[in-house]
A and B are shown apart, each in its own frame.
Chain A
């Protein structure tokens, strides 16, 4: 290179273009950028706060609602009062304690199942998409099989058959829930593996594991996070459904079993709404929070969506939004 004439930070290409060396913009320091993006997005921030709130409630349950949630504290079906702020349920247990402590098992099952489901989905989906051919045929067959089997009835059968405990529920939920994430990972892998950088890695002799996990996997980060949040959501909802049906361990305290006991003790019949509303609302809020987080993630990881939202913030005028053309907003210059 003729370094004598051309400054180091400029390159002249064969066709005569002057290409300046990239100038690295001073951006936020590395790892915390995602957190800043998260807080800047209203949807994601709200979702994040809701989820974190319930996680904290679960962690600090002994401080928030001290005492054994399974002990009988007073007469049954007491309405909410200063002493028992959520009242007591049909057997005389404190509903507030049960709701707070219930977060522990519900969220544990939710996050454990989410992680396990995503892990199995990744493993099977990535292998199917990367190796293609016979391996893909076989794995796709299994995935499709699991997709067509109706999940809840199978779960009911499995949970009834296994001795109910927290971890058997996690296993059962992961067993019926892994196929959908696997399918998503597979299709992502199929399209990513066609990219030139994968061919380049193959040519340069990198191992398959290295290409999959260090080359391709980071490109799927947003999809993996999204699918994981979705799985957690699915697990919490389904655990509640199973719990309400009495198919989990009914001596555990979770939001699902709270609903089961409320129904078993005829809470609805005697008009004791406080026995099922708190747990039900908690489930709804966590699902709401996780969904918001997921939509927010979409916007954070997809710059196009973010740009559209920013633009809509600028264009308060609705008529401008619906025209399929670049908006004209006259400003003084």
Chain B
């Protein structure tokens, strides 16, 4: 590991690191040339942390999540960087190591949780499958017993053990998926839009349950959503992505109270606040960039209302402008003391 961060906020203030992504590049091979979906992204997640990854569709959030488990389908290629999980590089793992790492190291609640359950298998069998696959010594009965414990944990009645997915409501299916993600007690859980398909009441209920479980079991969460209000509420730190890059990274409260990057400010102005004063909603003008040939300089410049000529040529670096608050924007200058402060 290099000691001086090149482009990234490498450390966190929590002492130890569970997942450390450094300078990750992911490209999709297309007929029009490679599309760089993730462009030199670095961040780290501490044990017990909820790390939020936000950004509009196509900004690379889900690509990062899938890259961590090396689950991206063709034509995706990881073209650079490291993903250290407990010090071991996921990108260097062979098939056997990957199989051991997946699900027992990092588990995932997929974007369409409704569809990630097999419609022709009972819930109990789907949970037992995971358990018995990773623990060859576990018998059918023990697995079933553990499955019912897991359903208890996520708040589903044990009687539902022998139900098929279509017999459950959307919220229950989501809980069942979370139970499967918890099955092997992984230190990190990736939640890719876990509640997007649910109504706000169930959404809140499930998020609170997840938080409760997290406090009890002590796992970390990589939380991906474009629902910023939900994210601010549940995350410790948040990274905002735009066009494959992290443009701002800060503790949740700090980001919410004082967003620095014009894009983040635009996002914050795009949803109404329930408790704050009434204000006019403003969107972000323009459309996401074409990733085959992204804009030069700062990628946000075509949509930015504070753009200056220099910004269209020079790529801004992600720098720490306030303690723990990182921004990649020409409007701000690095805090000269930041780098020397001990982490």
A binds B: yes
Chain A residues with CB under 8 Å of chain B are 2, 5-7, 9-12, 15-18, 20-21, 23, 25, 40, 304, 307-308, 310-311, 314-315, 323-331, 333
Mark the stretch among B44-52, B63-71, B181-189 that contacts chain A.
Answer: B63-71
Chain B residues within CB distance 8 Å of chain A:
25-27, 29-31, 39-40, 56, 66-67, 70-80, 91, 93-95, 98, 226-229, 266-267, 270-272, 280-288, 290
Of B29, B80, B270, B282, which one neighbours A314 at CB under 8 angstroms? B29
Known: A310-B31, A314-B29. A18 touches B284 (CB 8 A): yes
Residues of B within 8 A of A6 (CB): 281-283
Question: Is the Cβ of A308 less than 8 Å from the Cβ of B74?
Answer: yes
Most buried by B among A7, A40, A328: A328
Bound together, the chains give a CA A7 to CA B286 distance in angstroms of 8
Contact partners of B229 in chain A: CB under 8 A: 15-16
**Pair A18/B71 contact, Cβ less than 8 Å:** no
B28: min CB distance to chain A, Å: 8
| Contact of A5 with B79 in the complex, beta carbons under 8 Å | no
Shortest distance from the beta carbon of A28 to any chain B beta carbon, whole Å: 11
Contact A20 B287 (CB under 8 A): yes
Residues of A contacting B74 in the complex (Cβ-Cβ under 8 angstroms): 304, 307-308, 310-311
For A323, the closest partner residue in chain B by CB is: B95
User: By DSSP majority rule, is chain A's interface helix, strand, loop, or mixed?
Assistant: loop
Given A12-B283, A323-B95, A333-B80, 7 additional A-B pairs, CB 8 A? A12-B281, A15-B227, A304-B74, A315-B77, A323-B94, A329-B78, A333-B25
Residue pairs across A and B with CB atoms within 8 Å: the count is 113
Please tell me if the beta carbons of B56 and A18 are within 8 angstroms of each other in the complex: yes
Q: List 15 A-B contacts (CB under 8 A).
A: A2-B280, A2-B281, A6-B281, A12-B281, A12-B283, A15-B227, A16-B270, A16-B272, A17-B226, A20-B288, A307-B73, A307-B75, A327-B77, A328-B77, A331-B79
Bound Cα distance A137, B69 (Å): 47
Closest-CB distance, B282 to chain A (whole angstroms): 6
Known contacts A329-B77, A333-B40; A20/B282 CB under 8 A: no
A6, A326, A329: residue with the most chain B Cβ atoms closer than 10 Å:
A326
